[in-house]
């Protein structure tokens, strides 16, 4: 702010100085004004002489042209005496100086006072990206947008801006309300419906409620169904215990996804989550203390996994153990053994639809089958 | 227009005469050119003026078949059909509709639900045969009453338009 | 801080302009050298301030400072740097700021380089320039302020209209504006002359460099705009008689007339009153051009009602400057002394013809452009005046200009010999007849008048150099003698010849590209081939690419002639993400002066892709001719006579001409 006022003062001062400096400069009594005209006509006469010398015009033309220009030359010289400048007047100069000294700052500062916003700092994008989103500023911005929306509740874009911020701040109910306004004011799109559903899901603390389900179902209608909507519908099916339906949804998403789709990772995580693999019991306590290096730890894990594999192959086990084995194998990089474990488990639990769905989900989620394979 | 011509002859009377004659000659030439240009412009106007109509105006006025018109309105949702390089679509102003056929490439901003201006004539069969669909600045050629009606119905989407170039 | 400093600089520039408009004018009336001398330093100060302001706005664009509303509305952080910069003038507010910047630049140039001008004339000119800038600065600050701020700042901008994201359009407006604004110098000189009640040959010489500069930039600007429309709009047309284009053509036509009538004034002191009027009208048309494009009134008269403040301000500025100067003209023109006498057949006579027809052509364009607006404003009836109107009026009116053009330089001043001039053109005439006959004999198709058009173009091109040939006695004297004479010719003679030849070149391009172009609209599947003008274009398929702020779909075409691959074309469509706008991107292959042009419509569900293919013979000549015209203007500008008094002054004993500052 200080820098701005300093600049303003500098510029104004310089402008005033330009006027005063020019007025104060001593000048000779100016020459007669017709001198400039005379110079042009002299040049024209010179030019006629040059053209004549090169033979570009003949003598007769040159003469008549010369006479014509000469007449103008004489007229201009005569005028000279009449147009002598008046003597510089101190009074006029002083008046001009006062106008500059008072009028200039008056107009410029007055004008700027009406038009300018001296309090607003520059906000180049690079500088904004550097500074972390300051909580107080986010809160400040939210309250400003809220004030604007209170005045103009039909501003759909405003609601659309604030909705994700609400969700990020944990105000899921407000976010859901904001998304409802967006849809009412700007129309329904798959993305907006999916966002509404997500907000409702968050508001219900991670349960897909009936309202949320309706929103998600709307989000997958039409030509460009929402990916997010599909994911949540799969979650809803899981929540209802209908694993095959959830799997089917995720499978379709997986098949339709482009190779470099950004949501593939989320999709795989969701599939693995769906398989409900129990964690591998890792060594604890003193046993873990003994394993100093990562290599030693890896070797121990391998040993345990191999033991689990041998045990399952020999005496069999429950589905959780098979899933655990398959995932451990895949994580260790033994994709072939992981695949074999899945196959063996499928054979063992062939009658159980739920088990098959969990196995399929894991195979897909680990990238052992389907497009990721 | 004033063309000044000044004398360089000795006798004042002959000067005045020469000046007058030359001035008259010049004025005559200017007059002839102006008359010719005016005739040309009027003639061109009568041959090339094209009136701007909306579908309901065409329906109301019963325009003579074959008269050249500009038709402006919205491309009706779901009405665009391609057949080789010929396109069939319906122009609507939300009151009346008019089927249009056009052969050629459509401009960049041609799409369903958007404003369009086409030039051509209505055939005997009541189909508007367009020979041009405006490409340049066409997002701006929305007739005001159509725009007003669309705004009233919430169909107006100015964000797909954009400012005129240049 | 920087944005606000720029804003303040602009307000301060207004205050400085007010002083510059008042003090030197007062000085000139009171014959006070001290006050008159204020004009120059104030003009320079004003330029510096507006330049600071412009730099501040550019800085906001380059750093994507979205706290400036203008940047939010017209920029986007992902936009390439060049379009961030060109975005400054790609919108209403910024382009007006550029307009003012160029205006004050011209003022500063007069202040710095107009040392040979009489003190009073210079003071008057700078004061009038300042009045124009007061009006525009007020307009910018009050109705179209580019420094309006938003708080809190949005996170992202709305991007520049994708149509404008093109290198051609990045430099088109500055060129055009230098042209428009340059004519303000002629205007200021004319008003100053009316205030003084005196114009003479010397005045014409002082105005000439400014008019010439404006004219050559306007020529380049129009050509650039035409080329942009040609490749960017995807229709393969180079001139649409669109109001936006007409708005730039009108000042060009009257500016061209002004350039020629000023020559008569400089040499013969004739046509004074007319030249002054042309100077006023040319700038009036430039103002009209600026406002027609900027006010949105072209779209519809109703756009005026959307923003009444702007509309009223525009009408006010137009009526003050046009009305005011014409009123001054009505009162003062009769005071001007009359000049030299000339016969109808003479250089002057030919230039009068040029003026009459150029003015008539300008009037036709004016009526065609503004009549629909007037009709809509008064009756509400919407009509359109399309290319057919302009083709039927503009062409026939310009034809006499083209026919007289080669004759004029061959006629003597005062009283010319038409027969001798015709003899000088025998060769050019022969070339024209031969060309017409050859074209008519060998080329099939095209309108019957087209070979004649080629003849007129050839006549203009070859005839343009008849004066040079005449004056250097080429083919009639020994070659060494001719070369010596050629060196002695003033560069303005070469400039005129070049500019006139450029007109012929442009005409040849227009005739050929209009009469013998071939066009084909096809829908192809990958692997299929279309034929056009003896070439085979194979469609190789479609691919996707990603640009900085757009995604594009590209259709690849291989062009073969006699089985040999001679070019590949990649027309495409770009989807600009920020505005969700879809634009076609044409692709052009140049063979000599001819071009093969392809643009892509849409991919269709049946696997076909719509393509528009053009073959445009000699189309490049249209723009090449304009460049030649501008080069001619540049050569003429380099003529040493225009610098009278400046460099040689020091050698003279009396340093009287240096105006004290």
Can you spell out the DSSP letters for C176-229? HHHHHHHHHHHHHHHHHHHHHT---HHHHHHHHHHHHHHHHHHHHHHHHHHHHH
Q: How confident is the model at residue C658 (pLDDT cuts 50, 70, 90)?
A: very low
Phi, psi (deg, nearest 5) at residue B157: -130, 80
**Four-point Cα dihedral C110, C114, C115, C121, nearest 10:** -90
Question: SS3 of C558, please?
Answer: strand
CA A332/CA A355 separation, integer angstroms: 23
Instruction: Answer for the pair A192, A201: CB distance below 8 angstroms, yes or no.
Output: no
Say whether C149 and A23 touch across the interface (CB within 8 A): no
- Which of the pair, C311 or C355, is modelled with greater confidence? C355
Residues of A in contact with C52 (CB under 8 A): 11
pLDDT number for residue C661? 33
Residues 6+ apart with CB under 8 A from C53: C6, C7, C9, C10, C13, C97
Residues 6+ apart with CB under 8 A from C445: C516
Report the pLDDT averaged over residues C54-74.
91
Q: How confident is the model at residue C519 (pLDDT cuts 50, 70, 90)?
A: confident
CA C4/CA A8 separation, integer angstroms: 9
Strands B128-133, B97-103: pairing is parallel
pLDDT number for residue B68? 81
> CA-nearest residue of chain C to A56?
C471
Query: What is the distance in angstroms between the Cα of C120 and the nearest Cα belonging to chain A?
Result: 7
CATH superfamily of A136-240: Tetratricopeptide repeat domain (1.25.40.10)
Say whether C333 and B2 touch across the interface (CB within 8 A): yes
The length of chain A, given as a count of residues: 373
C-alpha angle C631-C634-C638 in degrees, rounded to nearest 5:
140
Predicted TM-score of the model (pTM): 0.74
Q: Would you give per-residue pLDDT tens digits along chain B (166 residues)? A: 444 444 344 444 555 666 677 778 778 888 888 888 888 888 888 877 788 788 888 877 766 667 788 888 888 888 888 877 788 999 887 788 889 998 877 776 677 777 788 888 888 888 888 888 874 443 444 445 455 555 554 444 443 333 333 3
Please report, for residues A273, C507, C607, the alpha-carbon distance to residue A198 in angstroms, rounded to integers and kept in the order given: 18, 65, 38
Closest Cα to residue C494, out of C621, C643, C642, C639?
C639
Query: Would an 8 Å CB–CB cutoff place B34 in contact with chain C?
Result: yes
- Which of the pair, C537 or A306, is modelled with greater confidence? C537
Indicate if the pLDDT at residue C319 is higher than 50: yes
Residues of C in contact with A23 (CB under 8 A): 34, 38
Task: List, for residues C377-426, the tens digit of each pLDDT value.
Answer: 788 777 878 788 998 899 899 999 999 899 988 888 888 888 888 888 99
Instruction: Answer for the pair C178, C599: CB distance below 8 angstroms, yes or no.
Output: no
Q: Which one of A123, A133, A145 makes the best mutation probe of the C interface by having the most chain C beta carbons within 10 Å?
A: A123
Indicate if the pLDDT at residue C42 is higher than 60: yes
Indicate if the pLDDT at residue C525 is higher than 60: yes
Instruction: Answer for the pair C226, C371: CB distance below 8 angstroms, yes or no.
Output: no
- Going by the DSSP 8-state scheme, the letter that residue C88 receives in this structure is G
- Which of the pair, A106 or C78, is modelled with greater confidence? A106
For the beta carbon of residue C341, count every other beta carbon within 10 angstroms.
21
pLDDT number for residue C47? 97
CA C243/CA C389 separation, integer angstroms: 13
Instruction: Answer for the pair C568, C535: CB distance below 8 angstroms, yes or no.
Output: no
Helices C39-62 and C92-113, axial angle in degrees (round to 10): 150
Residues 6+ apart with CB under 8 A from C518: C532, C533, C614, C615
Class of domain C166-356: mainly alpha
Q: What's the whole-number average pLDDT of chain A?
A: 79
C-alpha angle C638-C263-C120 in degrees, rounded to nearest 5:
80
> CA-nearest residue of chain C to B35?
C360
Which residue of A25, A40, A50 is in closest CB contact with C644?
Answer: A40
Please report, for residues A161, B39, B164, C302, C504, the alpha-carbon distance to residue C295 in angstroms, rounded to integers and kept in the order given: 32, 32, 11, 11, 35
Task: List, for residues A320-346, the tens digit of each pLDDT value.
Answer: 888 888 888 887 778 888 888 888 888
The pair of three-digit structure tokens given for residue C583, joined into one six-digit string: 């634009």
The pair of three-digit structure tokens given for residue C161, joined into one six-digit string: 């209209």
Q: Is B137 annotated as a binding-site member?
A: yes
What is A33-102 written as a DSSP string?
Answer: TTHHHHHHHHHHHHHHHHHHHHTSS-HHHHHHHHHHHHHHHHHHHHHHHHTPPPPP-HHHHHHHHHIIII
Say whether C9 and A11 touch across the interface (CB within 8 A): yes
Residues of C in contact with A88 (CB under 8 A): 32-34
pLDDT number for residue C507? 95
C-alpha angle C543-C546-C547 in degrees, rounded to nearest 5:
130
Question: Which range (A286-290, B12-16, C80-84) has the least confidence?
Answer: B12-16
Q: Which helix or strand (DSSP H or E) is residue C355 part of?
A: helix C347-379
Residues of C in contact with B8 (CB under 8 A): 340-341
> Please, what sign has the CA dihedral across residues C541, C544, C547, C550?
positive
CA C228/CA C233 separation, integer angstroms: 8
Q: Is B110 annotated as a binding-site member?
A: no
Exposure pattern of C419-442 as b/e (b: 16+ CB <10 Å)?
eebeebbeebbebbeebbeebeee
Please report, for residues A55, A230, A234, C475, the alpha-carbon distance to residue A237 in angstroms, rounded to integers and kept in the order given: 103, 11, 5, 97
The pair of three-digit structure tokens given for residue C444, joined into one six-digit string: 């099939």
Question: SS3 of C611, please?
Answer: strand
Residues of A in contact with C31 (CB under 8 A): 85-86
In angstroms and rounded to an integer, the radius of gyration of the C-alpha atoms of chain C is 27
Query: Would an 8 Å CB–CB cutoff place A122 in contact with chain C?
Result: yes
- Return the domain boundaries, chain A: 1-26+88-115, 28-86, 136-240, 285-372
In angstroms and rounded to an integer, the radius of gyration of the C-alpha atoms of chain A is 43
What is the percentage of chain C residues whose pLDDT exceeds 90?
46
What is the percentage of chain A residues whose pLDDT exceeds 90?
9
Which residue of C169, C338, C368 is in closest CB contact with B6?
Answer: C338
Task: List, for residues C123-144, the tens digit of each pLDDT value.
Answer: 999 999 999 999 999 999 998 8
pLDDT number for residue B66? 72
Indicate if the pLDDT at residue C645 is higher than 70: no
Indicate if the pLDDT at residue C536 is higher than 80: yes
C-alpha angle C282-C287-C288 in degrees, rounded to nearest 5:
95
Residues of C in contact with A117 (CB under 8 A): 4, 149, 151
**Four-point Cα dihedral C492, C493, C494, C495, nearest 10:** 40
CA B144/CA B54 separation, integer angstroms: 10
Task: List, for residues A124-166, the tens digit of each pLDDT value.
Answer: 887 776 654 554 456 667 777 777 787 777 888 888 888 888 8
Q: Which residue's entry shows tokens 């916003």?
A: A117
> CA-nearest residue of chain B to C375?
B51
The length of chain C, given as a count of residues: 661
CA A176/CA A159 separation, integer angstroms: 10
**Four-point Cα dihedral A293, A299, A304, A308, nearest 10:** 150
Q: How confident is the model at residue C361 (pLDDT cuts 50, 70, 90)?
A: very high
Query: What is the distance in angstroms between the Cα of A183 and the nearest Cα belonging to chain C?
Result: 20
**Window 39-78 of A, Cβ < 8 Å to C:** 39-41, 43-44, 47, 50, 54-56, 61, 64-65, 68-69, 72, 76
Q: How confident is the model at residue C357 (pLDDT cuts 50, 70, 90)?
A: very high
Query: Would an 8 Å CB–CB cutoff place C145 in contact with chain A?
Result: yes
Which residue of C32, C142, C200 is in closest CB contact with A37?
Answer: C200
Give the sheet arrangement for strand C518-524, strand by strand: C518-524, C609-616, C594-603, C587-591
CA B164/CA C91 separation, integer angstroms: 9
Give Dmax (Cα) for chain C. Answer: 86
**Window 317-356 of C, Cβ < 8 Å to B:** 333, 336-342, 344, 352-353, 356
Q: Which helix or strand (DSSP H or E) is residue C240 part of?
A: none
CA C146/CA B165 separation, integer angstroms: 18
The pair of three-digit structure tokens given for residue A204, joined into one six-digit string: 């219900």
In angstroms and rounded to an integer, the radius of gyration of the C-alpha atoms of chain B is 26
For the beta carbon of residue B160, count every other beta carbon within 10 angstroms.
16
Helices (H) and strands (E) counted in chain C, each on its own, are 23, 11
Instruction: Answer for the pair C342, C413: CB distance below 8 angstroms, yes or no.
Output: yes
Task: List, for residues C262-287, the tens digit of each pLDDT value.
Answer: 998 888 888 888 999 999 999 999 99
């Amino acid at each position: 702010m200080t820098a701005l006022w300093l600049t303003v003062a500098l510029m104004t001062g310089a402008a005033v100085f330009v006027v005063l400096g020019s007025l104060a400069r001593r000048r000779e009594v100016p020459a007669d004004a017709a001198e400039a005209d005379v110079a042009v006509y002299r040049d024209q006469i010179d030019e006629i002489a040059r053209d004549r010398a090169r033979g570009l015009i003949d003598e007769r033309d040159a003469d008549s042209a010369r006479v014509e220009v000469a007449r103008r030359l004489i007229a201009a010289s005569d005028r000279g005496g009449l147009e002598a400048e008046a003597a510089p007047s101190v009074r006029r100069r002083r008046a001009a100086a006062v106008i500059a000294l008072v009028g200039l700052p008056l107009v410029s500062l007055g004008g700027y006072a009406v038009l300018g916003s001296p309090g607003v700092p520059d906000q180049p994008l690079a500088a904004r990206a550097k500074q972390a989103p300051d909580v107080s500023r986010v809160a400040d911005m939210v309250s400003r947008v809220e004030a604007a929306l209170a005045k103009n509740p039909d501003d759909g874009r405003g609601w659309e801006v604030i909705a994700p911020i609400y969700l990020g701040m944990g105000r899921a109910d407000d976010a859901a309300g904001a998304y409802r306004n967006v849809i009412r004011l700007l129309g329904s799109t798959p993305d907006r419906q999916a966002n509404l559903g997500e907000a409702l899901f968050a508001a219900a603390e991670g349960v897909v409620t009936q309202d949320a389900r309706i929103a998600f179902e709307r989000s997958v209608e039409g030509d460009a169904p929402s990916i997010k909507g599909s994911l949540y519908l799969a979650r809803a099916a899981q929540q209802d215990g209908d694993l095959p339906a959830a799997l089917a949804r995720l499978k379709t998403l997986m098949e339709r996804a482009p190779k470099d789709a950004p949501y593939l990772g989320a999709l795989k995580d969701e599939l693995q989550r769906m398989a409900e693999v129990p964690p591998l019991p890792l060594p604890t306590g003193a046993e873990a203390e003994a394993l100093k290096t990562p290599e030693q730890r890896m070797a121990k894990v391998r040993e345990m996994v191999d033991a689990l594999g041998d045990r399952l192959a020999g005496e069999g086990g429950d589905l959780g153990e098979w899933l655990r084995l398959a995932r451990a194998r895949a994580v260790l990089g033994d994709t072939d053994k992981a695949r074999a474990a899945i196959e063996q488990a499928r054979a063992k639990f062939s009658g159980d639809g739920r088990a098959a769905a969990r196995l399929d989900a894991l195979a897909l989620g680990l990238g052992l089958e389907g497009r990721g394979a | 227009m004033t063309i000044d011509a000044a004398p360089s002859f000795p006798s004042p009377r002959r000067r005045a005469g020469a000046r007058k004659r030359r001035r008259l000659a010049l004025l005559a030439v200017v007059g002839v050119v102006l008359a010719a240009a005016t005739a040309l412009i009027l003639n061109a106007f009568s041959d090339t003026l094209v009136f701007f109509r909306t579908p309901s105006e065409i329906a109301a006025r019963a325009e003579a078949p074959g008269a050249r018109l500009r038709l402006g309105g919205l491309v009706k949702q779901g009405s665009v059909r391609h057949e080789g390089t010929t396109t069939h679509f319906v122009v609507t102003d939300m009151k009346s509709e008019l089927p249009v056929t056009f052969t050629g490439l459509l401009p960049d901003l041609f799409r369903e639900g958007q404003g369009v201006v086409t030039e051509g004539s209505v055939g005997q069969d009541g189909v508007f045969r367009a020979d041009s669909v405006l490409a340049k600045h066409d997002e701006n050629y929305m007739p005001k009453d159509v725009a007003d009606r669309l705004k009233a119905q919430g169909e107006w989407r100015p964000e797909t338009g954009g400012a005129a170039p240049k | 801080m920087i944005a606000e400093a720029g804003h303040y600089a602009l307000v301060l520039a207004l205050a400085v302009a007010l002083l510059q408009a008042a003090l030197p004018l007062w000085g000139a009336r009171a014959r006070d050298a001290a006050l008159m001398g204020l004009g120059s330093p104030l003009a320079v100060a004003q330029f510096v301030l507006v330049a600071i302001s412009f730099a501040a706005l550019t800085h906001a664009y380059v750093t994507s400072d979205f706290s400036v509303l203008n940047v939010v509305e017209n920029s986007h952080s992902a936009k390439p740097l060049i379009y961030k910069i060109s975005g400054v003038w790609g919108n209403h507010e910024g382009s007006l700021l550029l307009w003012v910047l160029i205006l004050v630049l011209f003022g500063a140039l007069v202040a710095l380089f107009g040392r040979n001008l009489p003190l009073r004339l210079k003071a008057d000119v700078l004061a009038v320039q300042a009045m124009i800038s007061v009006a525009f600065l007020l307009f910018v600050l009050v109705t179209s302020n580019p420094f309006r701020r938003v708080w809190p700042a949005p996170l992202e901008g709305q991007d520049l209209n994708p149509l404008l994201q093109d290198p051609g359009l990045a430099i088109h407006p500055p060129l055009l504006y230098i042209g428009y604004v340059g004519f303000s110098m002629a205007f200021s000189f004319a008003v100053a002359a009316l205030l003084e009640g005196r114009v003479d040959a010397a005045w014409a010489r002082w105005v000439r460099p400014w008019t010439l500069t404006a004219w050559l930039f306007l020529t380049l600007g129009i050509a650039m705009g035409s080329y942009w429309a040609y490749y960017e709009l995807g229709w393969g047309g180079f001139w649409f008689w669109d109001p936006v284009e007409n708005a730039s053509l009108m000042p060009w036509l009257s500016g061209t007339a002004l350039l020629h009538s000023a020559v008569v004034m400089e040499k013969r002191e004739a046509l004074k009153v007319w030249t002054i009027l042309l100077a006023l009208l040319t700038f009036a048309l430039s103002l009209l051009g600026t406002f027609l494009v900027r006010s949105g009134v072209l779209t519809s008269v109703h756009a005026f009602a959307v923003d009444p403040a702007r509309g009223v301000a525009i009408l006010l500025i137009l009526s003050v400057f046009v009305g005011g100067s014409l009123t001054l003209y009505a009162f003062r023109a009769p005071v001007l002394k009359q000049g030299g006498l000339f016969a109808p057949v003479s250089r002057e006579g030919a230039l009068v013809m040029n003026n009459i027809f150029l003015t008539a052509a300008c009037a036709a364009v004016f009526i065609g452009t503004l009549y629909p607006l007037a009709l809509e404003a008064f009756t509400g009836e919407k009509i359109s005046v399309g290319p057919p109107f302009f083709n039927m009026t503009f062409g026939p009116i310009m034809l006499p200009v083209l026919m007289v053009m080669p004759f004029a330089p061959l006629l003597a001043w005062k009283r010319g010999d038409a027969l001798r001039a015709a003899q000088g053109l025998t060769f050019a005439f022969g070339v024209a007849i031969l060309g017409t006959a050859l074209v008519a004999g060998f080329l099939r198709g095209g309108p019957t008048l087209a070979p004649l058009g080629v003849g007129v173009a050839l006549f203009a091109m070859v005839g343009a150099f008849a004066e040079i040939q005449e004056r250097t006695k080429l083919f009639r004297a020994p070659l060494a003698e001719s070369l010596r004479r050629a060196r002695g010719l003033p560069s303005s003679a070469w400039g005129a010849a070049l500019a006139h030849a450029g007109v012929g070149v442009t005409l040849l391009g227009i005739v050929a590209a209009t009469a013998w172009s071939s066009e084909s609209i096809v829908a192809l599947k990958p692997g299929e081939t279309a034929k056009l003008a003896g070439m085979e274009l194979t469609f190789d398929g479609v691919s996707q690419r990603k640009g900085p702020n757009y995604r594009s779909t590209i259709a690849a075409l291989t062009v073969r002639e006699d089985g040999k691959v001679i070019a590949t074309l990649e027309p495409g469509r770009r989807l600009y993400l920020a505005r969700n706008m879809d634009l076609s991107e044409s692709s052009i292959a140049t063979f000599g002066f001819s071009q093969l042009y392809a643009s892509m419509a849409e991919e269709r569900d049946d696997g076909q892709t719509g393509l528009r293919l053009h073959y445009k013979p000699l189309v490049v000549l249209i723009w090449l001719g304009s460049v030649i015209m501008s080069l001619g203007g540049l050569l003429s500008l380099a003529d040493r006579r225009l610098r009278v008094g400046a460099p040689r002054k020091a050698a003279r004993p009396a340093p009287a001409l240096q105006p004290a500052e």
